[in-house]
Structure 1
């Protein structure tokens, strides 16, 4: 699926169309700084019924949210220097115990996820417009 966004409210349409397609509990978010990864996550969690305040997990590495369907973990692996650091935070346990794991900057861990069914969203920031590709 591909989307083009011109304003922040357009994220709602993206979430509305993607949510019925979610079949896996791992969701990779790719995009440059400021592309809208956390903004998308805010819209998604609201649609999932979470009342938690969603913020970027840049410094915490992982934020935990609650929804009627279960726990949602939101990761930011941007500052991880190697795969051992990802294992050190207990990534496998999070993946096993979550309704949904949203992983920003997943590249360092992507090879390990090759055998796990997951979704991926790429967000390209083109200035006034964002192009989103979901698979």
Structure 2
């Protein structure tokens, strides 16, 4: 699925179309700094019924949110220098015990995801807005 958006309010429509397609408990978010990964997550969590305040997990590495369907863990692996750091904070335990894990900057952990089913969203800035690809 591909989407083009030109303003903030259009994220809501993207999220409403993506949610019914989520079949796996891991959602990888790829995109440059400022592309909208956390903004997408905010709209997603709102649509999933979370009442929590959604923020970037850049410094905490992982944020936990409650939804009617269960726990959602939101990771930002940007600052990790090695995959061992992911193991040190117990990423596997999180991935195995939630409704959904959203992982921003998943590149350092990609080899470890072999054997897991996941979705990937790529968000790219354009001159007029953003291009989003969900698969």
Same fold (TM over 0.5): yes
Q: How does 1:5-20 map to 2 (within 5 A)?
A: 5-20=5-20
1:90 paired residue number: 90
- Gaps (5+ residues) in structure 1? none
Deviations 1:87-131, CA, capped at 9 Å, x for gaps: 111011001111000000000001111210000000001143100
Give runs of ≥4 in structure 1 deviating > 4 Å: none
2:22 paired residue number: 22
Find out whether 1:132 has 2:123 as its counterpart: no
CA distance in structure 1 between the partners assigned to 2:127 and 2:114 by the alignment: 32
CA distance in structure 2 between the partners assigned to 1:61 and 1:127 by the alignment: 30
2:76 paired residue number: 76
Q: Secondary structure at the match of 1:132?
A: strand
CA distance in structure 2 between the partners assigned to 1:104 and 1:114 by the alignment: 17
Q: Secondary structure at the match of 1:85?
A: helix
CA distance in structure 1 between the partners assigned to 2:83 and 2:95 by the alignment: 16
CA distance in structure 2 between the partners assigned to 1:61 and 1:38 by the alignment: 13
RMSD, aligned CA: 0.6
TM-score, structure 1 normalization: 0.98
Structure 1 residue 14, shift from structure 2 partner: 0.7
Query: How many pairs does the alignment contain?
Result: 135
